[in-house]
């Protein structure tokens, strides 16, 4: 587990990538040095009435310059994410990270990896794609508006799906996988629960190991409060019940370890 | 050097700052951010006789200056707790307070008895969790039931017993007196206030459990008032909690009559909150030219 750093990070830049989707570069020093693909960072609101940190996945890691890129969706008016979307160059934001385990890169060495991202589960797949050495097939599932697609194209062959059919295959990531007959030795996926459920079923059907990044409402972000649990197939060694902590034991799990 | 040390039923704490049960696990996770040696005590998450899986998710929701939780007392059971969590905490120079939960009086007593030869300093009996169907709050909302369980637990307890009171009652003074009559050594209050949040777009409850316990700065004035009332009703030392995020917040509780304070939800907003509150109390005593914090316990009457 990487060293967790608590700090006030300076904003290097922020831009909108689409409607309600923002890309934030932060000067993160040690936090960037320690970060792994698939990990997340807790961002704290500057508004004292919002107590809980917002867990945001890491989209890119620039170790040389000590920078982290977070790409996130604004969840609504008057929310913490809306507050973050107004941050400008030179502003600062309190953060804790990197948190969680991240995608395991060593089992992927020399393998053909099928990377799947759905919605706001797309951003963490970018750094994962960047750090994976071998052949990559990337499937990105959007509601309608595309973001980060060109950046993924540098790292592998990209297939797009949209729910409204405005680009690529109409439907979800699994529809594109089936339409193009895509496969791999290993699957890495991040997205909404129904997508992860379908990915797990696909992996079992084709006998391909899947690593899925889970999402759950969090409070502490470090594994103490037991808010963000997901079901586990077997009794977990830490909790001694069939529960795992998404923030600390995950967010990335082997799909066969967890109930989705 | 001004003195921050306080005494709870014969147990000397180096300072009055402790963690609030359920927000700090058994200290492992937060020990990456806080030197546990700095704390007066670590109060563990509630532990039962056997592992409990807790409630379905979502288990938490943010509210204005507060949060709701309905974890449902997920815990690994007393055996693992004694093998793993107590030895971890023994590495630190801090007092260990174990929070005990159960579904029946026998459940509570069996855990308390199991802990009698463990190196723990105090026991906190959780008869006030609003998020479990059996046990928990059922004992904490009826004075006769509270007195009865206090008496039973005391029979098996080797360590001093803290009864943790619920704010979801009509008369907190009556409950404090019932716990005192049952033989409690210390009282702690408040547990969370039962609340609800509704998602108007999905037209459903935000928490899977429908209701949850409200904590955070939103509940602090209620908590200070209840600590003041309980302190006026009984002679027992009181551990005050409910929305403490700063040393000033902690001092409100102490001036209202608390001997010690617990920091809960603030850990989520600032993982170093507990240690910062200890430093803040040191500064406060210096600024106020007070040599001993005990002079200020219940000083506002």
Tell me the C-alpha distance between B46 and B78, whole Å: 10
Of B159, B239, B191, B207, the closest CA to residue B54 belongs to B207
Instruction: Transcribe B17-47 into DSSP letters.
Output: EEEPTTSSTTSTTGGGTS-GGGSSEEEPPPB
Interface test with B, best of A2, A44, A51 (most B CBs within 10 A): A51
Residue B262 β-bridge partners: B18, B241
The distance of B201 to chain A (nearest Cα, Å) reads 12
- Chain A residue nearest residue B50, CA to CA: A240
CATH number at residue A189: 3.40.50.80
| Three-state SS annotation for B216-284 | CHHHHHHHHHHHHHHHHHCCCCEEEECCCCCHHHHHHHHHHCCCEEEECCHHHHCCCHHHHHHHHHHHH
Looking at the structure, tell me whether residues A42 and A128 fall in a common domain: no
- Final residue of a domain: which of A66, A81, A99? A99
Contact (CB, 8 A) for A63 and A1 = no
Parallel/antiparallel/unpaired status of strands A169-170 and A157-162: parallel
Domain locations along chain B: 6-296
Q: Does A220 touch chain B (CB under 8 A)?
A: yes
Cβ–Cβ gap B60/A223 under 8 Å: no
Tell me the C-alpha distance between A37 and B192, whole Å: 38
Report chain B residues whose CB lies below 8 A from the CB of A55.
none
- Residue A138: the pLDDT is 98
- Final residue of a domain: which of A99, A123, A149? A99
- Residue B133: the pLDDT is 64
Q: Which residues contact B133 (CB under 8 A, 6 or more apart)?
A: none
CATH number at residue A24: 2.40.30.10
Contact (CB, 8 A) for A80 and A54 = yes
CB pairs under 8 A between A and B: 108
- Residue B300: the pLDDT is 97
Residue by residue, pLDDT tens for chain A (260 residues) are: 678 999 999 999 999 999 999 999 999 999 999 999 999 999 999 999 999 999 999 999 999 999 999 999 999 999 999 999 999 999 999 999 999 999 999 999 999 999 999 999 999 999 999 999 899 999 999 999 999 999 999 999 999 999 999 999 999 999 999 999 999 999 999 999 999 999 999 999 999 999 999 999 999 999 999 999 999 999 999 999 999 999 999 999 999 999 99
Looking at the structure, tell me whether residues A228 and A187 fall in a common domain: yes
- Chain A residue nearest residue B67, CA to CA: A51
Which structural domain, as residue segments, surrounds residue A16?
5-99
Tell me the C-alpha distance between B11 and B239, whole Å: 13
- Final residue of a domain: which of A50, A79, A99? A99
Looking at the structure, tell me whether residues A65 and A147 fall in a common domain: no
- Residue B140: the pLDDT is 87
Report chain A residues whose CB lies below 8 A from the CB of B72.
none
The distance of B29 to chain A (nearest Cα, Å) reads 6
Q: Does A46 touch chain B (CB under 8 A)?
A: no
Looking at the structure, tell me whether residues A172 and A114 fall in a common domain: yes
Residue A157 β-bridge partners: A137
Q: DSSP secondary-structure letter at A154?
A: T
Looking at chain A from residue 104 to 163, which residues have their Cβ under 8 Å from any Cβ of chain B?
A: none
Cβ–Cβ gap B60/A230 under 8 Å: no
Tell me the C-alpha distance between B22 and B13, whole Å: 20
The distance of A219 to chain B (nearest Cα, Å) reads 6
Regions of chain B with pLDDT less than 50: none
Contact (CB, 8 A) for B239 and B186 = yes
Contact (CB, 8 A) for B31 and B89 = no
Of B24, B65, B265, the CB nearest to A49: B65
Structure-token pair, residue B35? 């030197």
Torsion angle of C-alpha atoms A188, A193, A195, A197, degrees rounded to 10: 80
CB atoms within 10 A of CB B200: 6
Tell me the C-alpha distance between A34 and A42, whole Å: 15
Tell me the C-alpha distance between A148 and A21, whole Å: 10
Beta strands in chain A (DSSP E): 5-18, 21-27, 40-44, 54-62, 67-73, 92-99, 113-118, 136-142, 157-162, 169-170, 186-190, 210-213, 229-231, 243-245, 252-254
Helix (H) or strand (E) holding B55: none
Give me the CATH code for the B6-296 domain, please.
Answer: 3.20.20.70
Looking at the structure, tell me whether residues A67 and A123 fall in a common domain: no
Q: How many domains does chain A have?
A: 2
Looking at the structure, tell me whether residues A11 and A74 fall in a common domain: yes
Tell me the C-alpha distance between B54 and B75, whole Å: 8
Tell me the C-alpha distance between A120 and A141, whole Å: 9
Cβ–Cβ gap B25/A225 under 8 Å: yes
Cβ–Cβ gap B67/A239 under 8 Å: no
Contact (CB, 8 A) for A84 and A93 = yes
Looking at the structure, tell me whether residues A95 and A114 fall in a common domain: no
| Catalytic annotation, residues of B | 129
């Amino acid at each position: 587990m990487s060293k967790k750093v608590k700090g006030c990070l300076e904003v290097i830049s922020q831009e909108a990538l689409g409607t309600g989707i923002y890309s934030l570069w932060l000067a993160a020093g040690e936090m960037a040095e320690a970060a792994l693909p698939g990990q997340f960072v807790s961002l704290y609101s500057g508004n004292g009435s919002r107590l809980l940190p917002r867990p945001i996945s890491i989209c890119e890691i620039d170790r040389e310059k000590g920078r982290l890129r977070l790409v996130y969706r604004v969840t609504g008016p008057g929310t913490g994410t809306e507050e973050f979307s107004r941050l400008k160059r030179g502003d600062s934001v309190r953060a804790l990270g990197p948190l969680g385990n991240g995608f395991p890169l060593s089992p992927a060495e020399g393998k053909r990896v099928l990377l799947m991202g759905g919605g706001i589960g797309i951003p963490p797949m970018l750094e994962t794609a960047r750090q994976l050495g071998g052949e990559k097939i990337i499937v990105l599932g959007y509601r309608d508006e595309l973001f980060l697609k060109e950046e993924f194209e540098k790292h592998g062959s990209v297939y797009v799906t949209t729910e409204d059919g405005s680009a690529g295959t109409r439907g979800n990531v699994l529809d594109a996988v089936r339409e193009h007959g895509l496969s791999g030795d290993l699957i890495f996926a991040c997205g909404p629960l129904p997508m992860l459920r379908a990915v797990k079923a696909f992996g079992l059907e084709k006998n391909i190991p899947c690593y899925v990044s889970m999402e759950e409402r969090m409070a502490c972000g470090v594994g103490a409060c037991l808010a963000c649990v997901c079901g586990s197939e077997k009794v977990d060694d830490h909790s001694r019940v069939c529960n795992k902590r998404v923030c600390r034991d995950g967010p990335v799990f082997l799909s066969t370890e967890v109930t989705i | 050097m001004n003195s921050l040390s306080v005494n709870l039923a014969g147990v000397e704490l180096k300072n009055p700052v402790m963690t609030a049960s359920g927000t700090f696990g058994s200290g492992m996770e937060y020990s990456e951010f806080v030197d546990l040696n700095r704390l007066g005590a670590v109060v563990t998450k509630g532990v039962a006789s056997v592992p409990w899986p807790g409630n379905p998710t979502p288990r938490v929701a943010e509210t204005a200056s507060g949060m709701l939780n309905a974890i449902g007392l997920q815990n690994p059971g007393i055996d693992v707790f004694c093998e793993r969590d107590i030895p971890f905490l023994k590495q630190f120079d801090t007092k260990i307070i174990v929070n005990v939960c159960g579904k029946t009086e026998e459940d509570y007593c069996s855990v308390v008895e199991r802990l009698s030869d463990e190196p723990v300093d105090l026991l906190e009996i959780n008869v006030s969790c609003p998020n479990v169907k059996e046990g928990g709050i059922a004992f904490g909302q009826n004075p006769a039931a509270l007195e009865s369980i206090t008496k039973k637990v005391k029979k098996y307890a080797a360590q001093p017993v803290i009864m943790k009171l619920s704010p979801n009652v009509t008369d907190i003074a009556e409950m404090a007196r019932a716990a005192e009559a049952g033989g409690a050594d210390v009282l702690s209050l408040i547990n969370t206030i039962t609340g609800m949040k509704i998602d108007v777009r999905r037209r459903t409850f935000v928490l899977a459990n429908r209701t949850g316990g409200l904590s955070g700065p939103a509940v602090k004035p209620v908590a200070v008032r209840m600590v003041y009332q309980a302190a006026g009703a009984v002679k027992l030392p009181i551990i005050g909690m409910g929305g403490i995020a700063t040393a000033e917040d902690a001092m409100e509780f102490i001036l209202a009559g608390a001997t010690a304070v617990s920091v809960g939800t603030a850990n989520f907003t600032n993982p170093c909150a507990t240690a910062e509150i200890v430093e803040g109390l040191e500064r406060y005593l210096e600024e106020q030219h007070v040599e001993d914090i005990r002079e200020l316990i219940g000083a506002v009457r």
